[in-house]
Amino acid sequence: MALTPSEAVPDAPATAPAPRGRMDRFIDKIEFTAAIFIGIVAADVFITVLLRYFGINIPDSYDFGQLLLGILIFWGIAATSYRGTHITVDLVWANVGPRGKRMIDIFATLVLLFVVTVQTYALFDKVVSTYQSNVQTFDLRLPTWPFFLVAWLGDVSAVLLIAIRTYRLIFHPEAMAEAAVETKPID
C-alpha cells in the first residue's frame, strides 16, 4: 500500500545508536541477572501452588521460597539502584533548578551508597555465620549459606552500581541524562 504525498513522512537522517561501553554492558548483565531471579521466584511459586492443588508437596518448598525471595530482593536493589527507577517522593527535587537537582541527586546517591555498603558488610557477616553454624533446610537438609552468598553477591552488585552512578553523577552527568526519569513539579 503506497502512501500519498500528503501522508509521506520526510526522510529523517538515520542515526546509529550510541555505542555501549563495557560499563553499560556490565550494568545490563546485572539487571538481566535480577530478571532471571524474578523468573525463578515466579516459577517456584507457580509450581508449588499448582502441585499443592494435586496434593503434592515439594520438599523444602517453603524454605526455597524464602531463600529465593531474599536473593530476589538484593538483586532487585542492584537493578533499581543505578537507574534510579525505584519509588521516590521528590517534592523538593521536582521544584528546583537543574543545579539543585544534581546536588540533591549526588547527596542522595552518596547516602544510598553508605547505607548499602553497611548492609553489604552486615550481610557478609550473615553468610559467614550461616556457613559456620551449618544452617540447613528442614526437609532435605541442604546448607542455606549458598543462598545467602548469592544474595550477598546481589548486594555487592548494588554497591558497585551505586558507586558507578555516583561517579557518573559527579564527573559525567551527561551519561546519566539518558537514564533520567522525567518528574513534573506540583502545580
Q: How far apart are CA 15 and CA 7, in angstroms?
A: 23
Q: What does each of the 187 residues of the chain score in pLDDT, given as a tens digit? A: 454 544 544 554 555 555 677 878 888 888 898 889 899 999 999 999 999 999 998 899 889 999 999 999 999 888 888 776 666 667 888 888 889 888 988 998 999 999 999 999 999 999 999 999 999 999 999 999 999 999 999 999 999 999 999 999 999 888 776 555 555 555 5
State pLDDT tens for residues 57-84: 889 988 999 999 999 999 988 888 877 6
Domain coordinates of the chain in residue numbers? 22-177
3-state secondary structure of 143: strand
β-pair partners for 143: 136
At 146, which helix (H) or strand (E)?
A: helix 145-171
- Cβ neighbours of 93 (radius 10 Å): 16
Q: Per the confidence metrics, is the pTM higher than 0.85?
A: no
Close Cβ partners of 56 (under 8 Å, ≥ 6 residues apart)? none
DSSP 153-175: HHHHHHHHHHHHHHHHHHH-HHH
Nearest to residue 151, comparing CAs of 52, 31, 34, 54? 34
Residue 158 near residue 120 (C-beta atoms within 8 A): yes
DSSP 8-state class, residue 136? B
